[in-house]
Structure 1
Amino acid sequence: MQKLIASAAATAAALGLSACAHMAPSTPVFSQAALPDAVKVPAGHRVVMETVGVGEITYECKPKANAAGAFEWVFVGPKADLNNRAGVKQGSYYGPPATWVSNDGSQFTGTQVAVSPATAGSIPLQLVKANPATGVGVMKDVTYVQRVATKGGVAPASACDAAAVGRKEIVKYQADYIFWKAA
């Protein structure tokens, strides 16, 4: 009888652990295989965080440099929430200068290394080299951040002419921001 009880307890424990394993969330690991070489992070780095940036980019209508009588929409800056894959806010992104901030207070600025075209109507993919972070937290020791899976964010389609100079327009966008540290 004791053997039967011990066997039943062992089976129940194994089933319990198995059930827990199925409930554990899977953490997707970003793959750069499909990305253009220009925006791939160099070997020797690993993904430490994946976020989905949801926000807006501001543009301003200005006279075009060295082109009398011509005008263009000029990038002013972004503002976005950085959410995890479940939609929970992890931090924010804004600029200039391009700044990524975690909810834990750590943050860094970065310098663009490369861009590559995205789908029509979307801002380019981007590779950014991180400057040393401030604060202690998830952003500490980040070496690169990639902007991938972009949707929207391109300059407005509305007219930018002499009558519109100084007008600002806000365009919605979304992009995945992938954070890397040295392996």
Structure 2
Amino acid sequence: MRITPISGAAALTLLLSACGSMMPAPMDKPMATVDNAALPEPVRVPAGEVQKMWTVGSGEITYECRDKKDAAGQYEWAFAGPVATLKDASGKAVGKYYGPPTTWEAMDGSKVGGKQVAVAPNQPGSIALQLVKAEPAVGSGAMQGVTYIQRLKTMGGVAPVAPCAMANKGEKKQVAYQADYVFYGR
């Protein structure tokens, strides 16, 4: 048997595809409950918050080569925005996540934005875990009453390792990622 090597990008795509089948339950079936006490303290939701929905988002994060803030003549890959499909445990699309501005939108048209409250490191090669304080929802539906959103179980999504310099300033690169998005309300 001959084994053919694959690139890092291909390996990440295979990993994300395999993990896509391990999604949490949708709202019409029992769902796993997040054990906030087991999470890093910065990304725990405040006491009294109730888990409303758990989805898995998979898509891409766009980074742009830009001037490094407060560092004249230096450049960095800066977060430019996400685009992801939110799915339930059966793999059915139940919404999308995009930005800027950061927005989670359910298939029923209701949507919510928010501001990052905290992050916590995750495994190397994966974007940080995150806690977002939601703004009031627009429209009636699944996002109505959402107060906090957690980004957990992240895979991929870190800034490119490709050089970022004056020569490629303004260049954009998309990086594959996956994360659980857990929505809370009162």
Which TM-score band applies after superposition, normalised by the shorter structure? Answer: 0.7 to 0.9
Which residue of 1 is the match for residue 52 of structure 2? 48
Identity %: 53
TM-score w.r.t. length of structure 2: 0.82
Retained in 1: the 8 A contact 2:31–2:54?
A: no
Of residues 98, 111, 136, the one that matches 1:94 is 98
- RMSD of the TM alignment (CA)? 1.4
Retained in 2: the 8 A contact 1:30–1:50?
A: no
Shift of 1:34: 1.9
**Unpaired segments ≥5 residues, structure 1:** 1-23
Which residue of 1 is the match for residue 109 of structure 2? 105
Runs of 4+ in 1 over 3 A off after TM superposition: none
Q: For the residues of structure 2 that align with 1:179 and 1:142, how far apart are their CA atoms?
A: 6
Q: For the residues of structure 1 that align with 2:98 and 2:148, how far apart are their CA atoms?
A: 16
Q: Write 1 or 2 for the structure with the bigger share of helix.
A: 1
Which residue of 2 is the match for residue 115 of structure 1? 119
Secondary structure at the aligned position of 1:140 is classed as coil
Give yes or no for the alignment of 1:68 onto 2:95.
no
Q: For the residues of structure 1 that align with 2:148 and 2:155, how far apart are their CA atoms?
A: 21
Shift of 1:93: 0.5
Q: For the residues of structure 2 that align with 1:150 and 1:35, how far apart are their CA atoms?
A: 13
Shift of 1:162: 1.7
Change (3 A) 1:67 1:26: closer
Q: AA paired with 1:142? A: V
Q: For the residues of structure 1 that align with 2:174 and 2:63, how far apart are their CA atoms?
A: 6
Retained in 2: the 8 A contact 1:122–1:151?
A: yes
**Unpaired segments ≥5 residues, structure 2:** 1-27
Number of aligned pairs?
159
Q: AA paired with 2:150? A: Q
Q: For the residues of structure 1 that align with 2:47 and 2:29, how far apart are their CA atoms?
A: 27
TM-score w.r.t. length of structure 1: 0.83
Secondary structure at the aligned position of 1:67 is classed as coil
